[in-house]
Amino acid sequence: MTLVLLAALLCAFGSWVIANLYRHALKQTPRQALLWYFLTAVTSGIAIWCTHFIAMLAYQPDAPVTFDFGLTFASLLIAIIGSTVGILIAGMFRRRVTTVIGGVILGLSISAMHYTGMVAYRIEGVIFWDKTYLVASVLLAMVLSTVALFFGAQNGKYATGKMTGSFAQAIIGLHFTGMAAFHVTPTCLTGHSNPDEFRLLAMVIAGTAAMIVMGGLFTYFIENRTRMENIVELRQARDEARDASRAKSEFMSVLSHELRTPLTIINGYASFLTNLKGHTMAKLKPNEPISKVHFDELGDQTERYGGRIKSAGDHLLTIINELLDYTSIELNSVKLNRTSFAAGDLLAELAEQFQGLAKEKQAVLEIEYDEFDVFADRGRCKQILINLLGNALKFSSASSIRMRAKQVGDTCRLEVEDNGCGMPAEDLQRIFQAFIQAETANKSADGGTGLGLAISKKLAAAHEGDIRVESTVGIGTKFTVDLPLCASEIAAEEALVAA
């Protein structure tokens, strides 16, 4: 009875593993599925054969029993080869008729394995076969195997359980119906019992089969976990690509607005200049001579229009330079022209440059700095601070903005801090991405390409430094740029190298 239960447990577990492997193979591409079908078939053949062999060892006739090991091994090969053919036909073609053909071949392989094993089962006695049970066992195996493959191809919630149950019934039903067809009359004295080594052999076979089946299950779990991780990574990549596409679409919308505005100004005032002489002449009375007053008025208008054209042209040039800078940085073609310069002089220059915009925004611009020299690309450092200071003035609605430069160990620390509206935490990482702004284009009165912070981040990295941001909504924002100071050290090293 123990061996019968062991055979049933092995059959149920093996059928469950086979169902999982088969259903997993159906989800793969044809090339990948081929390997999984072979793994399913080998696992199936071993599970079927071991179930049969352990159940045979549980059969105890009153006569001596031996095994023909050649035929016994042949029954194992029949189980594996027949399972391979049936599963491949059903899985690779995935049609109803091929599923029936595969199920029939699978059922016949189970039957052929069983009866080959029975022939290998040598017993001293007269053997009689009940043909009704024999035919019924073969039909039962074919029908239930076909049903199992149909269940395996379904997408329902309980499809795996249904395939497991049907396949286990096919194996167990074939074996016990086939054993009911087997009758033996011993030719020796009664009371004979087979040796206990049969029980030990059954345990060894069961353990070996369980290890092989577990190996197939372990392979399935590992591959399935890897596939799920790949799916997660692909979803993340898809989401990132979607966000990037959306950001670029928003960028194109903003860029078209940013380019259109200065171009409209340039075209408008250029048109005024083109027609200025005609408008001035049209204002004269008949026979009125052109006086110095007219020339002065004409000159004032020309100067005013020219200034507005220049301002719009500078704005347009800034946008184009940002695009070119970002492109060159992306292509790793940025070149740094390192020189030694005073950090305080750079801050004073920027404060003077932005005083007009600060007054326009009703903000107080202050600078604080230590007396020290920086060995870096002055133009690129100025570009970083222009981006940070320009953002603070345009977007923060701050009443006070401070620029600082201080020496922290071997690092030059540049800070731009404001007491403006601040930014939510979820925006603090996004703002350094290209084409991203903390505010959307329709909320930002001053617009912008969304490239300034991305360029600043990459320029800081090119100096082997970094840039970070701290912000609290309603309190303010602070950008911190850390660059390797090394004013004297790098200069000394370069002088040493030159020497």
The reported pLDDT for the residue numbered 141 is 92
The Cα–Cα gap between 444 and 425 comes to 19
Q: Is the C-alpha dihedral spanning 99, 101, 105, 108 positive or negative?
A: positive
Please answer whether residues 369 and 382 qualify as being in contact, where contact means their C-beta atoms are separated by less than 8 angstroms: no
Q: Is the C-alpha dihedral spanning 455, 458, 460, 462 positive or negative?
A: negative
The reported pLDDT for the residue numbered 495 is 53
Please answer whether residues 417 and 368 qualify as being in contact, where contact means their C-beta atoms are separated by less than 8 angstroms: no
Token digits of residue 242? 């979607």
Strand runs labelled E in 45-106: 65-67
Please answer whether residues 494 and 415 qualify as being in contact, where contact means their C-beta atoms are separated by less than 8 angstroms: no
Of 421 and 293, the structure prediction assigns the larger pLDDT to 421
In the three-class reduction of DSSP (H, G, I as helix; E, B as strand; rest coil), residue 412 is classed as strand
- What is the total residue count of the chain? 499
Buried b (16+ CB within 10 A) or exposed e, 249-276: ebbeebbeebeeebeebbeebeebeeee
Average confidence (pLDDT) over 161-176: 90
- Residue closest to 392 by CA, chosen among 353, 358, 431: 358
- Residue closest to 48 by CA, chosen among 2, 72, 15: 15
Token digits of residue 134? 């024999």
The reported pLDDT for the residue numbered 198 is 52
The Cα–Cα gap between 217 and 79 comes to 19
Q: Residue 380: pLDDT above 80?
A: yes
CA 253 and chain centroid, separation = 28
Q: Residue 146: pLDDT above 90?
A: yes
The reported pLDDT for the residue numbered 165 is 92
Q: How confident is the model over 296-326, as pLDDT tens digits?
A: 777 778 888 888 888 778 777 777 777 777 7
CA 28 and chain centroid, separation = 19
The reported pLDDT for the residue numbered 201 is 53
**Average pLDDT, whole number, for the chain?**
80
The Cα–Cα gap between 366 and 373 comes to 20
Q: Residue 206: pLDDT above 70?
A: no
Q: Residue 129: pLDDT above 80?
A: yes
Q: H or E element: which one contains 483?
A: strand 476-484
The share of the chain scoring above pLDDT 90, in percent, equals: 19
The reported pLDDT for the residue numbered 227 is 67
- Residue closest to 416 by CA, chosen among 467, 375, 360, 466: 467
The reported pLDDT for the residue numbered 250 is 65
Average confidence (pLDDT) over 108-133: 84
pLDDT band at 17 (very low <50, low <70, confident <90, very high): confident
pLDDT band at 443 (very low <50, low <70, confident <90, very high): very low
Q: Residue 428: pLDDT above 70?
A: yes
Specify whether the backbone of 268 is left (phi greater than 0), alpha (psi in -120 to 50) or beta. alpha
Domains, in order of start, for the chain: 2-194 (no CATH), 250-330 (1.10.287), 338-498 (3.30.565.10)
The Cα–Cα gap between 311 and 295 comes to 24
Name the DSSP class of 409. Answer: T
Please answer whether residues 79 and 110 qualify as being in contact, where contact means their C-beta atoms are separated by less than 8 angstroms: yes
Please answer whether residues 407 and 370 qualify as being in contact, where contact means their C-beta atoms are separated by less than 8 angstroms: yes
The reported pLDDT for the residue numbered 441 is 38
Average confidence (pLDDT) over 461-477: 90
The reported pLDDT for the residue numbered 487 is 46
Q: H or E element: which one contains 11?
A: helix 2-26
The Cα–Cα gap between 387 and 1 comes to 83
The Cα–Cα gap between 215 and 220 comes to 9
pLDDT band at 73 (very low <50, low <70, confident <90, very high): confident
CA 367 and chain centroid, separation = 45
Token digits of residue 401? 């903005």
The reported pLDDT for the residue numbered 444 is 46
- Residue closest to 318 by CA, chosen among 452, 433, 443, 438: 452
Of 220 and 18, the structure prediction assigns the larger pLDDT to 18
pLDDT band at 281 (very low <50, low <70, confident <90, very high): confident
The Cα–Cα gap between 117 and 134 comes to 14
Taking the alpha carbons at both ends of the chain, their separation in whole angstroms is 93
386 Cβ contact list (under 8 Å, min separation 6): 350
Q: Residue 139: pLDDT above 90?
A: yes
The share of the chain scoring above pLDDT 70, in percent, equals: 78
Please answer whether residues 346 and 381 qualify as being in contact, where contact means their C-beta atoms are separated by less than 8 angstroms: yes
Token digits of residue 363? 């903000």
Q: H or E element: which one contains 469?
A: strand 466-472
Q: H or E element: which one contains 57?
A: helix 30-58
- Residue closest to 36 by CA, chosen among 84, 98, 95, 96: 84
Beta-bridge partner residues of 185: 126
The reported pLDDT for the residue numbered 255 is 65
Pairing mode of beta strands 411-418, 466-472: unpaired
Q: How confident is the model over 81-97, as pLDDT tens digits?
A: 999 999 999 988 888 99
